[in-house]
Structure formats: structure tokens, C-alpha cells
Amino acid sequence: GAVVSQHPSWVICKSGTSVKIECRSLDFQATTMFWYRQFPKQSLMLMATSNEGSKATYEQGVEKDKFLINHASLTLSTLTVTSAHPEDSSFYICSARGNGDYEQYFGPGTRLTVT
């Protein structure tokens, strides 16, 4: 089956610093990648959708200058949380979809804690 990895699995950073999260499709080419955020006891919230080689499409209310998304290759997308604040602490999950595929394959998630 299709495998998606995320790195790191958890990270603690200080307020004001930036954190980069990587999402990789290991055995397929991901033409589209999705970034989600999930707060405790809440459902997934789509942050942005990115297609390889083009700018990401952000959902309403998500600051594109704060959450930088790069999808430079068919197997890698990165999410950078810039100038992180404690309220950015959350579970960040990526998913990837191949060309013509209907299913999104999820990474294991990254738990970010900003102190």
C-alpha cells in the first residue's frame, strides 16, 4: 500500500522560532498533498492543498505567511510554522494523493508543542 511519512513525529520549540515539518510519499508520486491541523478532541481541519510545482491553496482563516508550504517534488512537501506561538501547538497531519487517485494516504502526524 501507499506509505506516507512525516518528520519529525514530535517537536518542542520556543515561542518565536520556526519549525519545519516534512511529508514524504515513499512509494508513489504525490501530485497533491494536503496539510491538516487537529486540536484535542476536535476533527481534522484542512489548512491547505498543494499541487507539485505550484503555490499552495490555503483555506479561509489560515495565514499563508505564517504557514509556509512548499511542494517542490512529487514525493516531498514541507510545512514551516514561522514565528510559532503557544496557540500553534497542535497535531499536524499531512496526506498525499496520486494522480487520478481518489484516496488520500495519511502520514502519522507531527505533534508540535510551542513553549
Partner 1 sequence: GQNIDQPTEMTATEGAIVQINCTYQTSGFNGLFWYQQHAGEAPTFLSYNVLDGLEEKGRFSSFLSRSKGYSYLLLKELQMKDSASYLCAATDSNYQLIWGAGTKLIIKP
* Part of the chain binding partner 1 (CB under 8 A), chosen from 21-29, 61-69, 78-86, 97-105: 97-105
Residue 87 binds to partner 1 (criterion: CB under 8 A) = no
Where do we find the cell 518565536? 16
Q: Which residues contact 50 (CB under 8 A, 6 or more apart)?
A: 32, 33, 34, 35, 56, 57, 69, 70, 71, 77
Question: Cα(112)–Cα(101) distance, rounded to whole angstroms?
Answer: 30
Residue 8 binds to partner 1 (criterion: CB under 8 A) = no
Which of 22, 66, 68, 109 touches partner 1 (CB under 8 A)? Answer: 109
* Part of the chain binding partner 1 (CB under 8 A), chosen from 17-25, 43-51, 61-69, 73-81: 43-51
* Part of the chain binding partner 1 (CB under 8 A), chosen from 13-21, 23-31, 37-45, 67-75: 37-45
Where do we find the cell 489560515? 62
Q: Three-state DSSP class for 86?
A: helix
Q: Give the interface with partner 1 as residue ranges (CB under 8 A).
A: 34, 42-44, 46, 49, 91, 93, 97, 102-109, 111
